[in-house]
A and B are shown apart, each in its own frame.
Chain A
Amino acid sequence: MTMSIVHRATGIALYSGTLLLAWWLIACAAGPAAYANVQAFTGSWIGRLIVFGYTWALMHHLLSGVRHFVWDLGYGFKTADREWLTWAALIGGIVLTVLLWVIAYSMGVAR
């Protein structure tokens, strides 16, 4: 039950986060100076925290959304199934987020 509001909260977070995505794309299209501003922001601790949070929100919302598809198709309504799906989305979201950032750092985002 609690996870329903988390799905909603991550959705709202992702909604606001599209501003960051649009800023990044526009800056990339605009030129080096604008892009440097984005990189300075995403490189700062607060910027990095926001992007990390955005990654988690996206991964959790994705898995939580897949859980809703399972329910839409009429499966997973037993108590044990519901519990399993919820934990899978919760733990899976965290695991995927950490995994993506390990890959990102290994590819040189930290520079």
Chain B
Amino acid sequence: MSGDNAHGAQKSSMRTPIGKVRKLGPAGSGTSDFWRQRITGVAMTLLILPTIVVIMMLLGRNQAAAAQILGSPLISLIMILFIIASAIHMKIGMQVVIEDYVQNEKLKLVTVMANNFFSIAVALAAIFAIFKMASGV
């Protein structure tokens, strides 16, 4: 968000103006999101093949068979890892899009917050479903 109040900009400081704003960027959190986007991107590149194999295994099966497959330990783990990586990745990606196109500061605040809510809710819903199938209840 706004970078001017982040990380304790003091009234009298030895830090140069450029030093105060360096690395903050439009997200106000520096390069951590940039790096996290790369980590999750690489994670999903590695996980995409196992994930596709899992989805292919489910095609043409009924609910009971699909739930049993999705609930088995290794497959649950693959799905959960993919869901976590994609939730973080899509949250950061959408935030970058918002920061690029939404000029109004308050609207930006609201949309970034909505983006967080959506990403967390979708990820938790999917992970909860996997947990339910893994526990077999």
Contact = CB atoms under 8 A, between A and B. Distances in A.
Interface secondary structure of A, over-half rule? helix
A69 B38 contact: yes
A8 B126 CA distance: 24
B68 to A, nearest CB: 10
Interface stretch (A21-29, A75-83, A86-94): A21-29
Contacts of A28: 63, 66-67, 70, 129, 133
Nearest to B125: A22
Interface string B99-128: 000000000000000000000001001101
Interface stretch (B2-10, B13-21, B22-30, B41-49): B41-49
B60 A111 contact: yes
Interface in A36-58: 36, 58
8 contacts: A22-B125, A28-B70, A28-B133, A29-B130, A65-B41, A65-B45, A66-B45, A108-B59
